[in-house]
Amino acid sequence: MEFCPDCKSIMVPSDGVLICRRCGKRLEMKKGDNLVSRTEQKERRMTVIEDSEAAGLPTTKYKCPECGNDTAYWWLRQLRSADESEVRFFRCTKCNFTWREYD
């Protein structure tokens, strides 16, 4: 990565020259200049809840849509962008059916 000697902004390559996006200064690329771009991937993680009682999840009175039981474990997850509300997950304490609720 090369920086502009005048305004210290990042210089971008274009047709064998480096051009400053801010002030427009142009520098010839040296023969030995290697331009490398890297993209890092974030590791995706999934929460798997196998034994809800052992995980210490709180319970609430909420009717299960599958069996009609009135008690469910619950937890929150941020699945969408940060400016949107979290998603509430529920798991029936009787039949282990899991469902979600959005705002």
Q: Is 84 a catalytic residue?
A: yes
Query: Which entry of 15, 40, 50, 83 is annotated as an active-site residue?
Result: 83
Backbone angles phi, psi at 68, to 5 degrees: 85, 0
Query: Which entry of 6, 66, 84, 101 is annotated as an active-site residue?
Result: 84
Q: Is 6 a catalytic residue?
A: no
- Measured in whole angstroms, the distance separating CA 55 from the mean position of its chain's CA atoms is 24
From its phi and psi, is residue 78 left (phi > 0), alpha (psi between -120 and 50) or beta? beta
Q: Which residues are known to be catalytic? A: 83-84
